[in-house]
Structure 1
């Protein structure tokens, strides 16, 4: 199992919609289990108002940014 001290393999977002627009707010990270059958998820923020939770691999430019900074 991966340790949360390592850089997450995926980003966790809360996605809300306002008409035609979707707002993606990063709220945490996810780490793939060593056996590939699941994830550990750490949320830094809790989503409100029925936001959809989305887990995605980071884009290349996001993966190169040091932890704690934004692209």
Structure 2
């Protein structure tokens, strides 16, 4: 997810603490599509949620990012949610 880097050039932007997923159920399968990300506020009392799209149905789930080399987008039958 794109985010404007407001840190000095020698520092990397913070990775999101959570990824936002739009989940729709079709029969016995759930389909997961990444729609945004969330970053913790500096004071630790909240999050900023940045959505790239706004779904009109289904649900939005926030999950910690996984270190998966294949990206993990799309259909998921691993039991998330």
Please, what TM-score do these two structures have when normalized by structure 2? 0.64
Deviation at 1:31, TM superposition (A): 0.2
Runs (4 or more) in structure 1 with deviation over 3 Å come to none
Tell me the residue number matched to 1:41: 49
What SS is found at the alignment partner of 1:24? Answer: strand
Deviation at 1:61, TM superposition (A): 2.5
| 1:16 aligned residue (9, 19, 24) | 24
Distance 1:20 1:11 in 2: 24
Quick one: structure 1 residues 16 and 26, their matched pair in 2 at CA, closer, same or farther if it must change by over 3 Å? same
Please identify the structure whose Cα radius of gyration is greater: 2
Tell me the residue number matched to 1:61: 68
Distance 1:55 1:25 in 2: 12
Deviation at 1:45, TM superposition (A): 1.1
- Identify unmatched segments of 5+ residues in structure 1: 63-69
- Identify unmatched segments of 5+ residues in structure 2: 6-12, 72-81
